[in-house]
């Protein structure tokens, strides 16, 4: 199907898709939607920004039966923010219908959640721990739900949530259809997948394009300045619609946010130490564009979907370099352009080289007084050293000639003489400097 109008959806779903402004399905939607409609279990492997959320929401909504007052589908996501965003998108699709949906996430009153389940909804979205709790309380009756989505499965595994999903998936029907979505499929996830999925169709989108198109990757040396001062200089050189600054730890996120606040910037912050109410308020403020800058940890690069991010700034390189792709994937979405700026120090050279091998085309740049300039290619000094060394080798070989009459040990003597010439040449070169 090349257009959404080609699908045989119910009229309300066509109207909802049209309201969202969708005309053509993305590559992952073209692959996944027909499979879910046919009842096939699927593993969808794709990086952020590919449209995977609607690739499972649209066909699941099409399959829901509003006249059956029972739970039919469960969607789980490892973070509260992402679960909330999926829920928002779901409600846009079912608006004006009799389909009932509920959101259950951690950090909210469990008893109130139980009270909401006196009548079972048709579909629920939630975090693994809260859904498991409600199932254990016999409040959420999953034995009737034959559709299960596990979103961001690798992150759920890293955060230790797979056991919680396993606890309630085991109570679902034997005919369970599972749809697993993940940027990567770690080997340790395989036993869980094999337990619930028989011959799933594996769809891998964007394997040869690790980074989103439309992103400029600027690499900025910190040099002798403090990294925080360098960050300020970068911020003076851009005027973002919305920029997200990534750090590796919650403490560093707070340190950077406090520093920028003292410098006169109004910045938001998103990390795991925020209380649920604070996180909800912060996300609302971000969506209301009350901030031009947000400081966040890596969890935010996978767990939130904020519209309109024009710039990503890597204050620190991630410890797991795979997260570099998730970070920069926050920008250049929906066909827009974006800029990813990475601050680096000499100790980051090896990591930068490895990121370049992942297909990231860095541009070496500097910024001063708000003005940007392109620097020489980062490997120039290293190449100059190599070429200098080769010049000395050539000269030494030219000066050391094989004797007309060879004697035992002549090769060793030639090597000694060559090394002596090289040392002399290096000393002379250093003096000229």
Domain shared by 266 and 384, yes or no = no
pLDDT tens string 46-97: 766 678 999 999 999 999 999 999 999 999 998 888 899 899 999 999 999 9
State whether 196 and 56 are in the same domain.
yes
Please say whether the beta carbons of 155 and 130 come within 8 A: no
Nearest CA among 289, 286, 283, 293 for reference residue 313:
293
Burial class (CB in 10 A: 0-12, 13-18, 19+), 171: middle
Domain finish residue from 357, 374, 391: 374
Cβ proximity of 242 and 309 under 8 Å: yes
Tell me how far apart the alpha carbons of residues 212 and 225 are, in angstroms, rounded to a whole number.
31
In a domain, 209, yes or no: no
> Of 241-255, 400-414, 416-430, which range is least confident?
400-414
**398 Cβ contact list (under 8 Å, min separation 6):** none
* Confidence band, pLDDT 50/70/90 cuts, at residue 208: very low
Q: What is the DSSP letter of 188?
A: G
Kind of pairing between the strands at 371-374 and 362-368: antiparallel
431 band by pLDDT with thresholds 50, 70 and 90: low
* Judgement on whether residues 318 and 220 belong to the same structural domain of the protein: yes
> Can you give the pLDDT at residue 270?
84
What token pair was written down for 104?
């259950």
Angle 200-104-34 (CA atoms, 0-180°, nearest 5)?
30
Mean pLDDT of all residues in 374-393: 61
- Spatial separation of the C-alpha atoms in residues 372 and 350, rounded to whole Å: 25
- Among candidate residues 171, 112, 107, the one with its CA nearest the CA of residue 145: 171
Q: What are phi and psi of 305, to 5 degrees?
A: -135, 95
Q: What is the mean pLDDT of residues 392-410?
A: 66
Residue with tokens 């827009």: 336
| pLDDT for residue 304 | 63
- Whether residue 80 is found in the same domain as residue 173: yes
Q: Which residue has the tokens 């410098």?
A: 263
In a domain, 339, yes or no: yes
Residue of 391 and 126 predicted with greater confidence: 126
pLDDT at 386: 47
Residues 168 and 264 in one domain: no
14 lies in a domain?
yes
Residue 172 and residue 148 in contact, taking contact as beta carbons nearer than 8 Å: yes
Residues 43 and 157 in one domain: yes
Share of residues in the chain with pLDDT > 70 (%): 86
Gyration radius (Cα) of the chain, Å: 28
Whether residue 297 is found in the same domain as residue 416: no
Are both 150 and 260 inside the same structural domain?
Answer: no
User: Quick one: average pLDDT of 178-203?
Assistant: 89
Contact (Cβ atoms closer than 8 angstroms) between residue 225 and residue 289? no
DSSP state of 5: G
Range of the domain at 387: 380-432
Paired tokens of 186: 């770690």
Q: How many domains does the chain have?
A: 3
Instruction: Give me the phi and psi of 101, to 5 degrees please.
Output: -130, 155
Please write the tens of the pLDDT for every residue from 15-36: 999 999 999 999 999 999 999 9
Q: Are residues 226 and 192 in the same domain?
A: no
Does 254 fall in a domain? yes
Q: In angstroms, rounded to a whole number, what is the distance separating the alpha carbons of residues 71 and 220?
A: 52
* Rounded average pLDDT over 161-182: 94
- Looking at per-residue confidence, does 234 or 277 come out higher? 234
Domain finish residue from 374, 399, 418: 374
pLDDT at residue number 277: 74
CATH number at residue 307: 3.40.50.300
**Alpha helix (H) residue ranges in 64-144:** 80-94, 110-115, 128-136
- Both 111 and 85 in one domain: the answer is yes
Q: Which pLDDT does position 6 carry in this prediction?
A: 93
Residues with Cβ within 8 Å of 402's Cβ and at least 6 positions away in sequence, in order, are 410, 414
Single out the residue of 64, 355, 382, 341 nearest to residue 218, CA to CA. Answer: 341
Q: How far from the centroid of its chain's Cα atoms is residue 76's Cα? A: 18
Residue showing tokens 């040392």: 423
Which of 90-94, 104-108, 218-222, 409-413 has the weakest average pLDDT? 409-413
The yes-or-no verdict on residue 389 having pLDDT over 60 is no
Can you give the pLDDT at residue 122? 98
Are 61 and 99 in contact by the 8 Å Cβ rule? The answer is yes
Better-scored residue on pLDDT, 336 or 89: 89
Residue 210 placed within a domain: no
Section 185-192 average pLDDT: 84
Which of 182, 204, 226 is the last residue before a domain boundary?
204
CB burial class (10 A; 0-12, 13-18, 19+) of residue 134?
Answer: buried
Whole-number average pLDDT of the chain: 87
pLDDT tens column, 133-161:
999 999 999 999 999 999 989 888 877 88
Q: Has residue 149 been placed in a domain?
A: yes
Does residue 9 carry a pLDDT above 90?
A: yes
Beta bridge partners of 270: 296
Give the model's pLDDT for residue 387.
45
Quick check: is 126 in a domain? yes
Same domain, 385 and 334: no
Q: Are residues 364 and 387 in the same domain?
A: no
pLDDT at 385 over 50: no
Query: How many Cβ atoms are within 10 Å of 378's Cβ, its own excluded?
Result: 17
In 3D space, the residue among 103, 98, 71 whose CA is nearest the CA of residue 84 turns out to be 103
Q: How confident is the model at residue 319 (pLDDT cuts 50, 70, 90)?
A: confident
pLDDT of 48 reads: 64
């Amino acid at each position: 199907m090349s257009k959404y109008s080609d699908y045989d959806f119910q009229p309300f779903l066509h109207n909802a898709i049209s309201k969202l402004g969708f005309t053509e399905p993305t590559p992952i939607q073209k692959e996944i939607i027909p499979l879910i409609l046919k009842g096939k279990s699927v593993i969808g492997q794709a990086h952020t920004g590919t449209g995977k959320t609607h690739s499972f929401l649209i066909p699941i909504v099409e399959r829901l039966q509003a006249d059956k007052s029972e739970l039919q589908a469960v969607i789980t996501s490892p973070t509260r923010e992402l679960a909330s965003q999926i829920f928002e998108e779901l409600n846009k699709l079912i608006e004006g219908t009799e389909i009932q949906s509920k959101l259950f996430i951690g950090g909210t009153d469990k008893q109130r959640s139980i009270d909401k389940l006196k009548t079972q909804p048709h579909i629920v979205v939630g975090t693994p721990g809260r859904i498991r709790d409600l199932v254990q309380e016999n409040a959420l009756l999953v034995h009737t739900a034959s559709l299960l989505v596990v979103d961001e499965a690798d992150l759920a595994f890293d955060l230790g949530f797979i056991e919680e999903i396993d606890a309630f998936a085991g109570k679902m029907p034997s005919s369970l259809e599972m749809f697993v979505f993940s940027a990567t499929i770690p080997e340790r996830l395989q036993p869980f997948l094999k337990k619930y999925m028989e011959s799933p169709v594996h769809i891998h989108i964007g394997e040869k394009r690790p980074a989103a198109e439309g992103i400029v990757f600027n690499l900025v040396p910190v040099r002798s300045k403090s990294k925080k001062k360098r960050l300020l200089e970068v911020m003076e050189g851009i005027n973002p619609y919305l920029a997200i600054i990534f750090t590796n730890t919650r403490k560093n996120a707070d340190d950077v946010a406090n520093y920028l606040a003292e410098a006169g910037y109004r910045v938001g912050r998103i990390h795991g130490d925020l209380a649920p109410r604070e996180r909800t308020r912060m996300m609302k403020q971000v969506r209301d564009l009350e901030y031009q800058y947000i400081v966040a940890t890596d969890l935010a690069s996978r767990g939130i979907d904020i519209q309109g991010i024009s710039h990503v700034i890597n204050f620190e390189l991630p410890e797991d370099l795979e997260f570099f792709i998730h970070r920069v994937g926050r920008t250049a979405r929906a066909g827009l352009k974006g800029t990813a700026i990475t601050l680096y120090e000499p100790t980051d050279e090896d990591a930068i080289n490895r990121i370049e091998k992942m297909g990231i085309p860095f541009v070496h740049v500097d910024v001063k007084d708000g003005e940007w300039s392109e620097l020489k290619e980062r490997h120039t000094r290293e190449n100059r050293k190599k070429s200098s060394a080769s010049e000395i080798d050539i000269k030494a070989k030219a000066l050391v000639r094989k004797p007309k009459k060879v004697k035992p040990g002549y090769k060793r003597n030639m090597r000694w003489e060559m090394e002596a010439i090289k040392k002399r040449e290096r000393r002379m070169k250093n003096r000229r400097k």
